[in-house]
Amino acid sequence: MNVILLGPPGVGKGTQGVLLAEGKSWKHMATGDILRANRREGTSLGQEAQRYMDAGELVPDELIVAMVKDTLAGLPEGQGVVFDGFPRTVPQAEALDAVLEELNRALDRVVVLEADDDVLVKRIAGRRSCPDCGSVFNVFMNSPAQEGICDKCGAALVHRPDDNPETVKNRLNVYAEQTEPLIRFYEGREGVLAKIPGEGSVEEIQDGIRAAL
């Protein structure tokens, strides 16, 4: 299956995407994670993306689409994919349609996770991320066993540079202006779009997503 997880910053796309991909042996394709890996490695893509990410703006479509195309083309035929954080604009969604068709893949589901802004802001304020393995924790709701240390790989956890309150405000605006219109874009496709509450326990939300698939 090819499944898109859509929703605002902090709604739990990464948390749910990892669980879904692990459970189903699918590829978790998180464009934000791929960009952050490029930044760590100092690639030209990472350097180009940095100023947009730190300002809470979207990285230009052409860079993102080329990156996704490359990753998808390298996957074995029939390998399921969970798209997390992509597409984020209508041109990205149109490009995804074209790439999937080229690769003989179909878009099976678009799962929209929804939560109130105050929940999102609190989750993001408490988020701590592992710069090495990408694991995500939360000081309020899902703290690591040892404060500041990744449970999985032992690296020091960080507060993402784009998780400061000013940038978060901009990311929420950018979501409303540029990404939310995708809900209407996919609404017209019969049986594709499913809206799931993004508030509740991680397990409850995962169950809701799986039921929608």
Whichever of 77 and 118 has its CB closer to ligand AP5, that residue is: 118
Q: x/- site string to ligand AP5, residues 20 to 39, per CB under 6 A?
A: -----------xx--x----
Told to check if 10 binds ligand AP5 by CB under 6 A, we report yes
What minimum distance in Å lies between the beta carbon of 173 and ligand AP5?
11
Q: How far apart are CA 142 and CA 32, in angstroms?
A: 21
Told to check if 206 binds ligand AP5 by CB under 6 A, we report no
**Segment near ligand AP5 (CB under 6 A); pick from 13-21, 69-77, 95-103, 187-195:** 13-21
Q: Out of 28, 39, 88, 109, which residue is the one contacting ligand AP5 (CB under 6 A)? A: 88
Region of residue 156 (phi > 0: left; psi between -120 and 50: alpha; otherwise: beta): beta
Query: Which residues between 42 and 81 bind ligand AP5 (CB under 6 A)?
Result: 52-53, 56-59, 64
What minimum distance in Å lies between the beta carbon of 90 and ligand AP5?
12
Radius of gyration of the chain (CA): 16
**Per-residue CA distances from 2 to 64, 96, 110, 126, 139 (Å):** 18, 11, 9, 31, 32
Query: Which residues between 110 and 139 bind ligand AP5 (CB under 6 A)?
Result: 123-124, 126-127, 136-138
Helix (H/G/I), strand (E/B), else coil: 191:
coil
- Give the residue at shortest CB distance from ligand AP5: 32
Q: How far apart are CA 140 and CA 209, in angstroms?
A: 24
Size of the site for ligand AP5 (CB under 6 A): 36
Give the number of other CB atoms < 10 A from CB of residue 181: 12
Q: Roughly what angle, to the nearest 10 degrees, separates helices 61-73 and 44-55? A: 130
Q: How far apart are CA 117 and CA 93, in angstroms?
A: 24
Structure tokens given for 89: 């604009």
Told to check if 82 binds ligand AP5 by CB under 6 A, we report no
* Interacting residues toward ligand AP5 by CB under 6 A: 7, 9-15, 31-32, 35, 52-53, 56-59, 64, 85-86, 88, 92, 123-124, 126-127, 136-138, 141-142, 162, 171, 201-202, 205
